[in-house]
Amino acid sequence: MFIERVCRKLSECNVPYAIVGGHAVALHRAVRGTIDIDLVIVWTAEILKTTELALKELGLVSSLPITAEERFANRESYITNRNLIAWNFHNPESLNEQVNLIINDDLDQRNRKLIRPGDYSISILAIADLIAMKR
């Protein structure tokens, strides 16, 4: 399962993350259909570079021709001038495998909850923070 592969890889790379968006809503037991995985990280240059590398190791490529360094250095400009709130990664051989890295939020300012659907953990945004983020 794609979400399992993503969560295992991020944990293996010690990336502090939380699943947000439709998957988080579903994992909080509300019916919601979605394909892409939205996630938020602690926003530092090092964690962003590690996240980019982890996603590339899963076979995902950036939909934009930029690097983590460029994304980090120009974060406010992308949000303000281009209205880009997420950095999309996709698998060119399986387009239903997509991850949106939310850039206009920071996990450092949010609470998360760990769930164990099997022999691995998924970090999701706590329900109150998920509702606040969706607003």
100 three-class SS: strand
Check residue 61 and give its pLDDT: 97
How does pLDDT run across 13-69, given as a tens digit for each residue? 999 999 998 889 888 877 666 789 999 999 999 999 999 999 999 999 999 999 999
Strand ranges for the chain from DSSP E: 17-20, 37-41, 61-62, 86-91, 94-102, 112-115, 122-125
Name the DSSP letter for residue 34: -
pLDDT of residue 79 exceeding 80 = yes
Check residue 80 and give its pLDDT: 96
Look at the domain 2-134 and name its fold. Beta Polymerase; domain 2 (3.30.460)
How many CB atoms are closer than 10 A to CB 22? 16
Check residue 34 and give its pLDDT: 77
The Cα 106–Cα 42 span in angstroms is 5
Spans of all domains in the chain:
2-134
Residue 104: pLDDT band by 50, 70, 90 thresholds? very high
